[in-house]
Amino acid sequence: RAPITVPALRQMKQRGERIAALTAYDASFARAMDHAGIDAVLVGDSLGMVVQGGANTVSVTLEDMVYHSRCVAKGLRSALLIADMPFQTYAGPERALDAATALLAEGLASMVKLEGAGIVLDAIGYLSEREIPVCAHLGLTPQSVLKLGGFRVQGRDADAAKALLAQARAVEAAGAQLLVLECVPSTLAADITGAVGIPTIGIGAGPDCDGQILVCHDALGINSGHRRPRFVKDFLKGRDSVEAAFRAYVDEVKSGAFPAPEHGYA
Ligand code: KIV
Ligand code: NA
């Protein structure tokens, strides 16, 4: 397989090929995903929960992200490596540029992801103008958990849905080249996917996004004591290896079998 580039993801959207993504935190899992045909691997700050055992993602540091990104990069040949920008590392464009540069130069990522629109649009624009590929993340933004008071579905009433659609257009206009939609109603995610030219990657956002992502542990049925959200599916169930599970995930995302309507929110 040829290495997946950022423009290649947009071409996949244009020809209607779904993008299969998973999170990874180390070289071995990254290698298994790469062999299984995963298009993009995210070093998510979810590592604060699934690797470090924390209650949320707020305590993850840039150093943590650089370390895990470097580990994951060692396992990849083709899949695109995206690294999360940790809490407050993009509070201001200059700070964002320093953090993103570290993730690209030291962590070997090809794209960085940051959460939100609004005040974050400045950082998205600043990075994009300086040749750093940016993935935006809207809907449920886990770094907002302390203000939100918990992890719950976003964009459920008409006003919130309108606001989310406007945010999606704004992050694209600011220069984002990819958009993660987390825990939003399936119909809203479909509307956003149709309204923007950049690919959308859903998690708890129904079957009509341009691609899908799951936390690796969730895709393998490893539950760290949290209640299992409805969008999660255990791909290891009934299979005899982790790589077979990742292959099944890729197949089901590409064919549209996953996510099914029951994995989404009304
Ligand atoms: O940190 C993470 O794993 C993420 C994905 C769930 C999109 O941001
Ligand atoms: Na994240």
- Would you name the residues annotated as active-site residues? 182
Q: Has this prediction a pTM greater than 0.90?
A: yes
Give the separation between CA 51 and CA 227, rounded to whole angstroms: 17
pLDDT in the model for residue 208: 98
Instruction: Give the distance (Å) from ligand 2 centre to CA of residue 88.
Output: 13
Closest CA to 236 of 225, 228, 224, 244: 244
- Beta-carbon contacts of 29 under 8 Å, excluding residues fewer than 6 positions away, are 75, 216, 242
* 50 alpha carbon, closest ligand: 1
Helical residues (DSSP H) of the chain, grouped into ranges: 6-15, 27-36, 47-50, 62-75, 93-105, 121-129, 145-148, 158-174, 186-195, 216-219, 242-255
pLDDT of residue 3: 97
Tens digit of each residue's pLDDT, the chain (266 residues): 899 999 999 999 999 999 999 999 999 999 999 999 999 999 999 999 999 999 999 999 999 999 999 999 999 999 999 999 999 999 999 999 999 999 999 999 999 999 999 999 999 999 999 999 999 999 999 999 999 998 999 999 999 999 999 999 999 999 999 999 999 999 999 999 999 999 999 999 999 999 999 999 999 999 866 778 999 999 999 999 999 999 999 999 999 999 999 999 99
* Residue-level pLDDT at 37: 98
CA geometry: angle 71, 77, 78, nearest 5 deg: 120
> Between the CA of residue 170 and those of 7, 74, 100, 120, 157, what are the distances in Å?
20, 34, 20, 10, 20
Q: Is 84 annotated as a binding residue?
A: yes
113 has binding-site annotation: yes
Give ∠ CA 115-26-88 in degrees, rounded to 5: 25
Domain boundaries, the chain: 6-263
Residue 83 Cβ contacting ligand 1 at under 6 Å: no
Alpha carbons 142 and 169: distance in angstroms, whole number: 21
For residue 45 and ligand 1, the question of a CB distance below 6 A is answered with yes
For residue 145, how far is its CA from the centre of ligand 1 (angstroms)?
A: 13
- Ligand in nearest proximity to the CA of 44: 1
Looking at domain 6-263, which CATH architecture does it have? Alpha-Beta Barrel (3.20)
Nearest-atom index, ligand 1, CA of 201: 7
**Ligand lying nearest the CA atom of residue 47:** 1
- What is the CA(23)–ligand 2 centre distance, in A? 9
What residues have CB less than 8 Å from 185, skipping those under 6 apart?
153, 155, 156, 161, 206, 264, 265, 266
* pLDDT computed for residue 227 by the predictor: 78
23 lines ligand 1 (CB under 6 A): yes
Contacts of 149 (CB under 8 A, 6+ apart): none
Residues around ion ligand 2, judged by CB within 5 A, are 44-45, 84
pLDDT at 182: 98
Q: How many angstroms separate the CA atoms of 119 and 152, rounded?
A: 22
Alpha carbon 252 to chain centroid, angstroms: 18
